[in-house]
Amino acid sequence: MPDGHAPAKTLRTPAALAAAGLVRDDPALAPVAARYAIAVTSHVVGLIDRADAQDPIAAQYIPHPDEALVRDDEHPDPIGDDAKSPVTGIVHRYPDRVLLKPLLACPVYCRFCFRRENVGPDGGVLSEAELAAALTYIRARPAIREVILTGGDPLMLSPRRLGAILAALDAIPHVELLRIHTRVPVADPSLVTPGLAAALETAKPLWLILHANHARELAPEALAAIAAIQRTGVPMLAQSVLLAGVNDSEVGLEALFRALVAARVKPTYLHHLDPAPGTARFRVPLSRGRALMKALRGRVPGHALPTYVVDLPGGAGKVPVAESHALADGAFWVIEAPDGSRHRLADGAESV
């Protein structure tokens, strides 16, 4: 159990989901539940439209028999966390920043999670010795300028423990920025207590990155939790995953991005799905993702558009993959406007 408290009435088994009327009593779910953690908070249950068999909220959290099907191109560590982990709890993929994973528990377990082989209700909480070793690793490397708390969900920690970790990072001279990645405000907003909000007050800049994939996740309770965090002065960004049956349409993405900016949360990344085991039902072709982002250019304000990225396998990092609007043509560029018209632009002063 992580250092914090479990959300009340979280559904964690196929039997509990069946009793709540969210799944049929299907034996095919047993091997899925044996391999991957299940958690659906009472808040998320309240967002599900039970009259819609294709409900996009349910699709993200309710287990499906197809999760037992693993394709040849799927991998238990699809973006190479393990290969880039020099000490327990640290992932060091880029020279200037590291991930710190203080725990591996989440309020909910997304059915497309790229860390689904590792996360679960046992929490995977770093021991005091492991946390000390992780902090020593950061202190010994002046090139590290940013530390990103992820996991698992750092906002599942108690305010005391989270505050202590942030204070320790705050005290490292070469660490300039702190970041927390979380699903808590949209998955269990009741965890955003005054004590938790107070724990986010740091001397150095702290940014909170919200994971949301559908506009309906920005429910009134979630908006109140987001506002409580923002009142501490913590700016918020968002990242999303492009998911078949959840947000893979112009209308769905536009609604999501507009809902985020209306909540004063800037969309930053739209992730192409990482090929974790059993996630094929969520895949959207890269060509479709590129076309969607191109269609939204000019339809959605620029500040509401995230960057469409692929996290390359093996730990090579994120790469933007949105369709280009610029084509080289000798000493000129041909630029395509949102309305489809094309315009020639000189490459520079030397080509005029």
Question: How many CB atoms are closer than 10 A to CB 337?
Answer: 11
How do residues 251-276 score in pLDDT, each as one tens digit?
Answer: 999 999 999 999 999 999 999 999 99
Query: Does the annotation mark 94 as catalytic?
Result: yes
pTM of model > 0.85: yes
Q: For position 8, what pLDDT does the model report?
A: 55
Active-site hit among 77, 113, 179, 188: 113
Out of 61, 77, 84, 110, pick the active-site residue.
Answer: 110
Is residue 160 part of the annotated active site? The answer reads no
318 given a catalytic annotation: yes
Of 94, 145, 290, 297, the active-site residue reads 94
What is the CATH T-level fold of the domain 73-321, as seen in this structure?
TIM Barrel (3.20.20)
Reported as a pLDDT band with limits 50, 70 and 90, residue 176 is very high
Catalytic site residue from 93, 116, 161, 266: 93
Give 347's Cβ-side CA count (13 Å radius).
8
Per the residue annotation, which of 36, 84, 97, 161 is the catalytic one?
Answer: 97
**What pLDDT is recorded for position 349?**
44
The model's confidence at residue 350, banded by pLDDT at 50, 70 and 90, is very low
Look up 294 and say whether it is catalytic: no
110 is known as an active-site residue: yes
For the segment 286-299, the average pLDDT, to the nearest whole number, is 95
Active site residue 93: yes
Please tell me which residue in 115, 116, 179, 216 is annotated as part of the active site: 115
Which ranges in the chain are annotated with CATH 3.20.20.70? 73-321
Three state DSSP letters for the chain: CCCCCCCCCCECCHHHHHHCCCCCCCCCHHHHHHHCCCCECHHHHHHCCCCCCCCHHHHHHCCCHHHHCCCCCCCCCCCCCHHHCCCCCEEEEECCEEEECCCCCCCCCCCCCCCCCCCCCCCCCCCHHHHHHHHHHHHCCCCCCEEEECCCCHHHCCHHHHHHHHHHHHCCCCCCEEEEEECHHHHCHHHCCHHHHHHCCCCCCEEEEEECCCHHHCCHHHHHHHHHHHCCCCCEEEEEECCCCCCCCHHHHHHHHHHHHHCCCEEEEEECCCCCCCCHHHCCCHHHHHHHHHHHECCECHHHCCEEEEEEHHHCEEEECCCCCEEEECCEEEEECCCCCEEEEECCHHHC
Candidate list 12, 35, 141, 318, residue with the active-site label: 318
Catalytic residue among 106, 137, 188, 269: 106
